[in-house]
Each structure stands twice: as C-alpha cells, then as structure tokens.
Structure 1
Amino acid sequence: MSLLDGRSSVLFVHAHPDDETISTGALIAEFVARGSTVTLLTCSRGERGEVVAGPLTALAGTAELAAERERELARATGILGISDRFWLGEAPARAHGLAARRYRDSGMVWIRPGLAGPAADAAEDALSVAPLAEVADDIAALITALQPALVISYDDGGGYGHPDHVRAHVATLAACAATGTPFAEVLEAPAADAEWFELPQHLTVVTDALRAHASQLTVHGAFIVHSGGQREAIGTSVGLRPHPFDDAPA
C-alpha cells in the first residue's frame, strides 16, 4: 500500500515558514485532495532568514520580521488547505507542566552551494542548541493530542543541511518512536527504499502558496528566486521513505 493511501490525518513538521511549501507543498495538496486532515507544526519563525529586496527589506533583523512571517505562513497554509497549524513550544506542542517557550531560528552558513551548516552565533534559545529531549517531548505532546496516522519531516540531512532541519528530523523521529506513530522522511531524489510521487496537478496551488512567502522568495514563472538570489524550479515531485525506529535517539 502507498504511504498516501488511507491516511485519515497527517502531521507535517517543518523548521521555518516557507519550508512547508517549498519542500512539501505538492504533497500536502495531494493529501488534502485525498481527503486527509493535514496539520502543520512549525518550529521557529525564521527570524534569522534573509529578506527579499523590496518593500519588506527593512524588516531584516527586526522583531517585526517574525510577525510578518507568521502572517505569510497563515496565508500559505490556507492556500494549501492545511486544517490547523501549531508553533513548537506552545500548547498543545509543549510538554505537560512546562511554561510556553519560543524556539528561535538558529541561522546557518553556506559550506558550499547547496549545503548549509551551523552558524557560529546561534542563540541559547535556538532550536538547534535546545535540549533534544525537550524538543522531542514537545513534538510528542502534539502527536499525542492529534493522534495523526502519519508524521512527515526531513531526512537525516535536513534536506540541505540547515541545523534546524536536522534537529527537526532527529526530534521528530524520537517523538514518533516514543508515541508509536508512523514516520516518513522527505526525499528530494528517488531512492530504492522510498516511494516517488509526480504531482504536477498541484503546481498552481503550490505556486500561489509560494507567493504568500513574499519576504523570503519571489516567484518568476516556474522558478523560485530566494532572498540570496538562488534560483530553483518549483517542485511538484517528492519522495517519501518510511523510517524504522531502531536507530531513533533514546
């Protein structure tokens, strides 16, 4: 049976606003089209991300940037058909008995084109340096509340190496192992142990959702132009690999 079949509810876990659309927008739209209830957990507000040159440039490095990216995420998730969305560290995505907290964007540096690594100046409250057990417990709290049939997040490389993506993978895997919930990781290329989906029918909705993230990217035809000038084709093809729990962190 396909990982897409018979999933009454699916939870996506992503590190920052726009990740849900760039890497899994077509997959989200496909689950919605099949009648699944899709929810989204976003781990940080992307506070340290660059801003596209233009009307929003002045938001870079300010507190207002986080608020703008919250609004952009709300617009994008509405377009994709996501039923509900949550912030990591805020109930119900917070372990019982703990006060609410905000996980900050850790930042990153480019090691080489297409591969990111940790920034040297991640704040103490950044996602990538927060205690892994705390992050995993917060994700597990949301899984327990929602009881999704499937949880989807990054692979162990975080897609392109961003430390927040890697932390989201590790913590989500641990949370799924603790709750006994099926977990699948997103792949950008076909693999022998994964399913590959071509979903061109969702190009329009993905493109519209991408346009909602106006502080982070610009849509030019069939391409995304990121704030740093990088260009990539709008993706409607994606892989999913079910992940066993035998190598999940304790």
Structure 2
Amino acid sequence: MSGIVSLHHPGTVLFVHAHPDDETISTGALIAELIARGSTVVLVTASRGERGEVVPGPLSALVGTEELAHERERELDRATTTLGVAQRFWLGESPARAAGLESRNYRDSGMRWVRPGLAGPADDIDDDALVAAPLDEVVGDLSHLIDLLQPSLVVSYDDGGGYGHPDHVRMHDATLAACAALGVPFAEVVPEPIVDAEWFDLGSRLGVVTDALRHYASQLTVDGTDIVHSGGQREPITTSVGLRLHENRSA
C-alpha cells in the first residue's frame, strides 16, 4: 500500500543503510531537512563497507585491511555528526540485535558491475557477509531496534537497492519485513520521480551535505557540486529525493 509522505515527523525517523557513506550520498539532504523541521533522525548501518574501493592517494594502503573498516567507522561518525544525526547503531550489535543473541558483524558482501549503473552479486562472498546471513536473522535484529525506538517513519532503499548492490537489496527486504511485522510506516527511496512517490527538491541543504561528504575521503572526492568516486565516476551531489510510502499497518 502506498500513500503520501510528509516531512513533518515530530518524532523519530530511522534511516536504514548498508554501508558508511550511503546515508549521505543518497539521503543526506533528506536527513538534514528532517532535522531542520524538528525530527530526531537515527541511523542504523549494516556493515563497515570493508570491501569498498578506495580513492587513489594516501589512504590507498588500507585496501584489503581491517584498518579500512576502522577508517570507515571514523568517516561515518564525522559525516553523521555534520548532518546532525542524533544516534547511530551497527546492525548486529545491541540494541540492533535480537534478544538472546551474541553480537556479530555483518560484513560488506561486495559487488560487481553488471553494466554501467547496475551492480550485481560479487563472485566471492564471505561466510559472514550480510547476504550470507539468513534474512530472518537480519529482520530480527532490525525489528529489535525498531521496537525499541518506536519511530514514526523508517526510510531505506527501494526493492532494487538504488543501483542493485546486493547489500542494499537485502536491507530493503529486511526493512520491509520488519516494518510490516511491527506496523511501522516504511518509505523507500526512489531514484527518480514516479507517479506513486513524493518528490522533494532540497537544494537548500547542499552546503551541509557537501560538508558531510568531505569526511568520506577514502571513498570519494568532492569537486564543486559533484562527487568523484574511487573509480573516477562522476555524479552531481544529490539534493533531490523521492519517497514511496508503504503503510505496513498491522490489523
């Protein structure tokens, strides 16, 4: 079921993302707008992005090392502080862990490019990768956090994960299931205007999003109003976003 999305959420809005930088690249302007309107924004991130490519330069030596995960944790902390995010959680760690289960790390599942702009599963997937975990486990962890926070809205990817990254798709599936079970509204981010989604132009938030993106020096370079990714791909900094609402109200 779809409906109208309002940005007036005086309570808590939970954003669900797969890797550090996803929250700023795709939803940074929306986060900043909600905070400016009085919402409390909370973020849960599924993995540390251990398999992310690194921008050529002084951080290149981190590729394939555990230190890359630590650096991405630090980048996430600085970027979300800049945006004004109130609290951050890691999926698999309390309170984003189902009751009675020991903490775990969901590792970045990796990806490969199927064609320009569309990702698919990596050729090699670690046993502790996010997509290797049972969906029920991921849903259980996310449900525990949602039940604790009681957000007025949960925001995550659409069913294609934005551009097909398997971790994004997994978090869409988990968020949809958790919100449906708990009767919490879920809004999925859509990449372009469509008939059943609300489209928000948030150009006034460009400055804070740009400042937040600069903290992700391992993953991207900010060049004016563009992002240059580690592979040299260039795209405009996103300040417009579409949301499609699934009411998910339990009977």
* Band of TM-score, shorter chain: over 0.9
Determine if contact 1:7/1:150 at 8 Å carries over to the other structure.
Answer: no
Q: Give the aligned length.
A: 246
Alpha-carbon distance in structure 2 between the residues aligned to 1:12 and 1:127: 18
Aligned residue in 1 for 2:174: 171
- The yes-or-no answer on 1:40 pairing with 2:48 is no
Determine if contact 1:153/1:186 at 8 Å carries over to the other structure.
Answer: yes
Name which of 94, 97, 122 aligns with 1:91: 94
Shift of 1:178: 1.2
In structure 1, stretches of 5+ residues that fail to align are none
1:121-179: per-residue Cα shift (whole Å, max 9, x none)? 11111011210000000000000111110000000000000000000000011111111
Alpha-carbon distance in structure 2 between the residues aligned to 1:195 and 1:72: 30
Aligned residue in 2 for 1:184: 187
Within 5 Å, give how 1:56-95 maps onto structure 2. Answer: 56-95=59-98
- The yes-or-no answer on 1:206 pairing with 2:206 is no
Alpha-carbon distance in structure 1 between the residues aligned to 2:19 and 2:172: 13
Secondary structure (helix, strand or coil) at the match of 1:212 reads coil
1:13-37: per-residue Cα shift (whole Å, max 9, x none)? 0000000000000000000000100
1:165-222: per-residue Cα shift (whole Å, max 9, x none)? 0000000111111111110000110111110000010000000000001100000011
Determine if contact 2:8/2:39 at 8 Å carries over to the other structure.
Answer: no
Alpha-carbon distance in structure 1 between the residues aligned to 2:58 and 2:148: 40
Shift of 1:72: 0.1
TM-score by length of 1: 0.97
In structure 2, stretches of 5+ residues that fail to align are none
Alpha-carbon distance in structure 2 between the residues aligned to 1:133 and 1:42: 17
**Pairwise CA RMSD:** 1.0
Name which of 139, 142, 146 aligns with 1:143: 146
